[in-house]
Structure 1
Amino acid sequence: MTQQAAALQTYNNELVKCIEELCSKRNELNRQIRLEEDEKEQLQQDIRLLSEKLSRINESMAQRLTTRANLDRTIAETEAAYGKILESSQSLLSVLKQEAGNLSNSPEQWKK
Structure 2
Amino acid sequence: MVSQAKKTDYTQNLILCIEELKTNRDCFNKQIEEISNEKLEIEKELERLNRELDKVNEGLSKKIEAKSGFDKAIEETESAYKKILETSQTLLHVLKREKMSLKSEQD
Instruction: State the TM-score, normalized to the length of structure 2.
Output: 0.84
**Superposed, which structure 2 residues align to 1:1-112 within 5 Å?**
4-108=3-107
Question: Following TM superposition, by how much is the alpha carbon of 1:91 offset from its aligned partner in structure 2, in angstroms?
Answer: 1.3
User: Over aligned residues, Cα RMSD in angstroms?
Assistant: 1.8
Task: Note the C-alpha offset of 1:53.
Answer: 2.0
- State the 1:7 CA deviation: 2.4
Once the two structures are TM-superposed, the CA of residue 102 in structure 1 deviates from its matched residue by 2.1
Helix, strand or coil at the partner of 2:14: helix
- The one-letter code sitting in structure 2 at the alignment partner of 1:52 is R
Give 4+ residue runs of structure 1 displaced > 3 Å after superposition: none
Q: Deviations over 1:2-30 (max 9, x none)?
A: x7431232122112201211111111111
Identical aligned pairs, as a percentage? 36
In 1, Cα distance between equivalents of 2:76 and 2:89: 20
Structure 1 CA distance, aligned partners of 2:16 and 2:88? 105
SS at match of 2:39: helix
Q: Shift in Å at residue 81 of structure 1?
A: 0.8
Aligned-partner residue type, residue 26 of structure 1: R
Per-residue Cα deviation, 1:38-77 (whole angstroms, up to 9, x for no partner): 2211221231122112201210121012112211211121
CA shift at 1:85, angstroms? Answer: 0.5
Largest Rg, 1 or 2: 1
The count of corresponding residues between Structure 1 and Structure 2 is 106
Distance 1:90 1:40 in 2: 73
2: CA distance between counterparts of 1:98 and 1:23?
110
Structure 2: segments with no counterpart, 5+ residues: none
